[in-house]
Amino acid sequence: MRKMSGAEAILECLKLEGVEVIFGLPGGVLLPLYDALYDSDIRHILVRHEQAAAHAADGYARATGRVGVCLATSGPGATNLVTGIATAYMDSVPLVAMTGQVPTNLIGKDAFQEADITGITIPITKHSYLVKDAKDLPRVFREAFHIARTGRPGPVLIDLPRDVTVGELDFSYPDLDLPGYNPTIGVHKLQIKKAAQVLMEAKRPVIYAGGGVRYASASKELLGLAEKVKAPVTTTLMGVGCFPEDNPLSLGMLGMHGTKYANYAIQESDLIVAVGARFDDRVTGKIAGFAPSATIVHIDVDPAEIGKNVKVDVPIVGDAKSALEELTEAVEPKPWSAWNDKVSAWKKDHPLSYEKSEDVIKPQMVMETIYELCPEAIIVTEVGQNQMWAAQFFTHKDPHRFISSGGLGTMGYGFPAAIGAQMARPDSTVFDIAGDGSFQMNIQELATAVLNDIPVKVAVMNNGVLGMVRQWQTLFYEKRYSGTTLGNIPDFVKVAEAYGALGLRATRPSEVEPVLKKAIDSDRPTVIDFVIPTDEMVLPMVPAGASLSETLELEG
Amino acid sequence: MKHTIAAIVENKPGVLVRIAGLFSRRGFNIDSLTVGTTDNPDYSRMTITVRADEVVLEQVTKQLNKLVNVIRVSELKPESSVGRELAIIKVNAKKETRSEIMQIVSVFRATIIDVSPKSMIVEVTGSEGKINAIERLLRQFGIMELARTGKVSMVRGSKVIKT
Ligand SMILES: Cc1ncc(C[n+]2csc(CCOP(=O)(O)OP(=O)(O)O)c2C)c(N)n1
Ligand SMILES: [Mg+2]
């Protein structure tokens, strides 16, 4: 046992949890903690807006599977984290968010910069703590990291009143004692047997894999099962990359902007094996019309996901890795079947495609070129059309190399998340595939990237509009473009240069490859302004509320 | 369909907010909720009655179980459990009506816990149905005020919901 201050204890806990970097921005109540940080080996990245601290910690976590950590001061600092915490919550990202708080004797008095951040974040955290006594710090941090990373991961918030950070304690790191927290480990043998049986009997199986596969690091096991029984695999946006898209069994992404062949396969299947996916409405379309003749096996670590949106025939609660491993062992190999031929024919007849052009830059072509030049790149995305093109036209093979805000769909997520991912993977090339609207939501983080030599490449698909919303106006609102025109400012090259980053622009297809090469070769943060047509759409598309069989057909 | 759930929860600040918030956020309908400490002061016991079909009830139970401060959640089936509510009812009571009120009170094995020239307070425990019945009967005299707890409930026999 060692005597130390609350602030020192907090840093000691972070070290014991293996934290190397935290993203944050200080304020009055955090002064004691920032003072202790001054002497610490833990790296602190000063952001320009706390939202970016949360997203950066989130990107760090998604790129590594480790817990990301962010820090903000009381009141407005804490509330600025809210969007980032909600983003992490919706996508089950392990995150510890620390917030400063007014001293305990002022809590509840509407003190200067007081906000009830534990109250505000109850619906968007896995758990939260308001620490009232410095003695509790080691226990709280031990629990918070454990809860964030185990079971179905998620964000945990720790609110730290100023007096707690200056209080004294005898430091010792306690054992866990969480009687109410028992994430399922191990899987039910009988359920595996049942699943194996329906899988053996199925004539038209499809595996539907989501973000749970990435968090369980179960890509290898997924491939093992799919190849053994020759089951085609489709992934959600969160699951992109957890099955190699160049594998003949891959169907790519399903759902609203999924491939036609994935959606056709789902609709005609007689068995769906859902793994770490939650039957979200963007995936299922009209739920009543989803996979009408399929038996459903659902593997999920969170029992509450099973039976939440669809009726499940064979529920398997447990870790995706062990469940897939055991299921693979329990089945006999199956040969390539008539079903596989049918699916392959769909793939051939309805590939993802776009009209190529010699005159204007097609965003889909930019994605393909990035893949050709840098297949190992980590692709982080913003939200909107840019995000869908990035999911569709880059060939994804590794879930930790595709990072996107799926559940909340947070514009402004991509750039700070890319900064976090780059911090985690300094040797990788990290792209933020951006929209001009989304990028402007956290564009100030260029300062963070430049000052800390974080060489993220921001590829702006600059269509001058809030493209995805505008696409809906084109299709469903008679081209009444209400509130979706951004105007062609700012000049992103000049903005980049103003911050000391490298700014590049491509306006013609022939410039795409040279500009990308320049960006990839540069060791500086880079913004590339790709000027793309305003009217380019994301296709195919299943309209909201329609069933997956009802792909929108556009003429002319 | 009404269901009764008993939840053993950690006796810590904020737990009630987490549970109430969960119900409102996910659109579960609470009919009543009672809380009190158990024989172990570290834990409280909540009895929650919800209106839900089987699918929603399963979600309620699973979502409650996800809360870190919730130790155990069990459904109490009406056929294998006992449940009691308590109500105290202030009724208008004039000289002429007093004896009639006292008759009703005795039929229901309720008690009078306060008397004034113009009023009486009746205390009654029992099932929800019994309390509804006495309330209905007392209404004719004019109910001035009524306070009712939610239900507390327990499994019959030696089986227990442990902390
Ligand atoms: C914070 C936030 N506000 C609003 C939205 C609604 N929204 C979804 S996509 C989109 C347009 C995004 O525009 P841009 O970043 O330029 O991407 P594009 O679709 O043009 O590629 C909007 C406004 C959102 N997802 N997030
Ligand atoms: Mg745009």
Point out the domain boundary residue: B76, B102, B127: B76
Sign of CA dihedral A223, A229, A232, A233: negative
How much of chain B is helix, strand and coil, in % rounded to 5? 35, 40, 25
Same domain, B65 and B108: no
Distance CA A163, CA B87 (A): 45
Same domain, B104 and B67: no
Given a cut of 50, is residue A556 above it in pLDDT? no
Is residue A404 lining ligand 1, measured as CB closer than 6 Å? Answer: no
Contact between B144 and B122 under an 8 Å Cβ cutoff? The reply is no
Does residue B157 belong to any structural domain of this protein? no
Backbone phi and psi for residue A319, each to the nearest 5 degrees, phi listed first: -65, 130
Contact between A470 and A480 under an 8 Å Cβ cutoff? The reply is no
Same domain, B61 and B86: no
A322: helix, coil or strand? helix
Contact between A257 and A388 under an 8 Å Cβ cutoff? The reply is yes
B126: helix, coil or strand? strand
Q: Which residues of B touch A126 (CB under 8 A)?
A: 68
Does residue B159 belong to any structural domain of this protein? no
How far are the Cα atoms of A271, A541, B39, B81, B157 from residue B160, in angstroms, in the given order? 41, 54, 13, 11, 8
Same domain, A417 and A323: no
Q: Do the chains contact at B66 and A304, CB–CB below 8 Å?
A: yes
- For A237-293, how does the pLDDT look when each residue is reduced to its tens digit (9 = 90+)? 999 999 999 999 999 999 999 999 999 999 999 999 999 999 999 999 999 999 999
Residue A105: is it exposed, middle or buried by C-beta count within 10 angstroms (0-12/13-18/19+)?
A: exposed
Question: Domain of A203?
Answer: 189-349
Contact between A496 and A447 under an 8 Å Cβ cutoff? The reply is no
CB pairs under 8 A between A and B: 36
**Residues found in chain A:** 556
Is residue A468 lining ligand 1, measured as CB closer than 6 Å? Answer: yes
Does residue A504 belong to any structural domain of this protein? yes
Count of structural domains, chain A: 3
pLDDT of A185 reads 79
Does residue A333 belong to any structural domain of this protein? yes
Cα A410 off chain centre by: 10
Contact between A37 and A44 under an 8 Å Cβ cutoff? The reply is yes
Is residue A386 lining ligand 1, measured as CB closer than 6 Å? Answer: yes
pLDDT band, very low/low/confident/very high, at A555 (cuts 50, 70, 90): low
Distance CA B46, CA B69 (A): 12
Q: Which atom of ligand 1 is nearest to the CA of A389?
A: 21
Same domain, B91 and B147: yes
Contact between A56 and A416 under an 8 Å Cβ cutoff? The reply is yes
Backbone phi and psi for residue A59, each to the nearest 5 degrees, phi listed first: -65, -40
* Nearest C-alpha neighbor of A74 from the set A30, A109, A44: A30
Cα B1 off chain centre by: 17
Count of structural domains, chain B: 2
Does residue B41 belong to any structural domain of this protein? yes
Indicate which CATH number applies to the domain containing A464.
3.40.50.970
Same domain, A371 and A247: no
Same domain, B72 and B87: no
Same domain, B23 and B63: yes
Same domain, B119 and B56: no
- For B85-107, how does the pLDDT look when each residue is reduced to its tens digit (9 = 90+)? 999 999 999 999 999 999 999 99
Does residue A392 belong to any structural domain of this protein? yes
Point out the domain boundary residue: B76, B110, B133: B76
Same domain, A345 and A404: no
Does residue A465 belong to any structural domain of this protein? yes
Question: Domain of B87?
Answer: 82-152
Provide mean pLDDT across the span A455-474. Answer: 98
Neighbours of A222 (CB within 10 A): 28
- The sheet with strand A457-462 has its strands ordered as A402-403, A378-381, A430-435, A457-462, A526-531, A502-506
B21 closest CB neighbour out of A123, A181, A308: A123
The overall average pLDDT reported for chain A is 97
Tokens of B101: 């009120």
* Nearest C-alpha neighbor of A71 from the set A63, A62, A80: A80
Sign of CA dihedral A279, A281, A287, A292: negative
Window A:84-143, CB contacts with B under 8 Å: 118-119, 122-123, 126-127, 130
Does residue B160 belong to any structural domain of this protein? no
Q: What H or E segment, with its residue span, contains residue A22?
A: strand A21-25
Write the residue with the smallest CA distance to atom 20 of ligand 1.
Answer: A467
Same domain, B11 and B57: yes
Does residue A183 belong to any structural domain of this protein? no
Does residue A424 belong to any structural domain of this protein? yes
Provide mean pLDDT across the span A9-23. Answer: 98
Does residue B161 belong to any structural domain of this protein? no
Test site for ligand 1: of A405, A408, A411, most ligand atoms within 8 A of the Cβ: A411
How far are the Cα atoms of A319, B7, B22, B61, B159 from residue B16, in angstroms, in the given order? 30, 11, 10, 16, 26
Point out the domain boundary residue: A143, A171, A199: A171
DSSP label of B106: H
Percent of chain A whose predicted confidence (pLDDT) is above 90: 98
Contact between A475 and A552 under an 8 Å Cβ cutoff? The reply is yes
Same domain, A130 and A265: no
- The sheet with strand A95-101 has its strands ordered as A43-46, A21-25, A68-72, A95-101, A155-161, A127-130
- For A202-218, how does the pLDDT look when each residue is reduced to its tens digit (9 = 90+)? 999 999 999 999 999 99
Same domain, A338 and A376: no
| Prediction ipTM score | 0.93
A307: contact with B, CB 8 A cutoff: yes
Backbone phi and psi for residue A260, each to the nearest 5 degrees, phi listed first: -60, -40
Same domain, A131 and A21: yes
Provide mean pLDDT across the span A500-512. Answer: 98
- For A376-389, how does the pLDDT look when each residue is reduced to its tens digit (9 = 90+)? 999 999 999 999 99
DSSP label of A485: B
Point out the domain boundary residue: A325, A349, A373: A349
Distance CA A44, CA A24 (A): 7
Tokens of A229: 């029984």
Same domain, A105 and A249: no
Given a cut of 90, is residue A184 above it in pLDDT? no
Shortest distance between the Cα of B62 and any Cα of chain A, in A, equals 5
Given a cut of 60, is residue A65 above it in pLDDT? yes
Contact between A251 and A343 under an 8 Å Cβ cutoff? The reply is yes
Same domain, B19 and B35: yes
Does residue B138 belong to any structural domain of this protein? yes
Does residue B119 belong to any structural domain of this protein? yes
pLDDT of A186 reads 86
Q: Do the chains contact at A304 and B55, CB–CB below 8 Å?
A: no
Shortest distance between the Cα of B15 and any Cα of chain A, in A, equals 11
Point out the domain boundary residue: B25, B57, B76: B76
Same domain, A344 and A409: no
Shortest distance between the Cα of A188 and any Cα of chain B, in A, equals 18
Indicate which CATH number applies to the domain containing B116.
3.30.70.1150
Tokens of A378: 């980590």
Same domain, A213 and A340: yes
* Nearest C-alpha neighbor of A83 from the set A61, A62, A53: A53
* Nearest C-alpha neighbor of A261 from the set A555, A553, A548, A535: A548
pLDDT of A120 reads 98
Q: Which atom of ligand 1 is nearest to the CA of A386?
A: 21
Model pTM? 0.97
Same domain, B63 and B97: no
Same domain, A68 and A34: yes
Partners of B155 in beta bridges: B81
Does residue A146 belong to any structural domain of this protein? yes
Cα A214 off chain centre by: 10
Same domain, B64 and B20: yes
Alpha helix stretches (DSSP H) within A427-499 = 436-439, 446-451, 467-476, 492-499
Distance CA A156, CA A164 (A): 18
Write the residue with the smallest CA distance to atom 5 of ligand 1.
Answer: A411
- For B33-44, how does the pLDDT look when each residue is reduced to its tens digit (9 = 90+)? 999 999 999 999
Tokens of A555: 């003429």
pLDDT of A280 reads 95
- For A393-445, how does the pLDDT look when each residue is reduced to its tens digit (9 = 90+)? 999 999 999 999 999 999 999 999 999 999 999 999 999 999 999 999 999 99
Is residue A458 lining ligand 1, measured as CB closer than 6 Å? Answer: no
Cis before A455 (ω within 30)? no
- Find the residue in A nearest to B59 (Cα): A304
- Ligand 1 centroid–CA A462 distance in Å is 12
Same domain, A302 and A413: no
Cα–Cα–Cα angle for A166, A168, A173, rounded to 5 degrees? 110
Indicate which CATH number applies to the domain containing B42.
3.30.70.260
Point out the domain boundary residue: A322, A349, A376: A349
Does residue B163 belong to any structural domain of this protein? no
Does residue A184 belong to any structural domain of this protein? no
Same domain, B91 and B64: no
Same domain, A258 and A160: no
Tokens of A384: 């909107």
Provide mean pLDDT across the span A500-514. Answer: 98
Indicate which CATH number applies to the domain containing A228.
3.40.50.1220
Q: Which residues of B touch A118 (CB under 8 A)?
A: 14
- For B8-32, how does the pLDDT look when each residue is reduced to its tens digit (9 = 90+)? 999 999 999 999 999 999 999 999 9
Given a cut of 90, is residue A307 above it in pLDDT? yes
Is residue A84 lining ligand 1, measured as CB closer than 6 Å? Answer: no
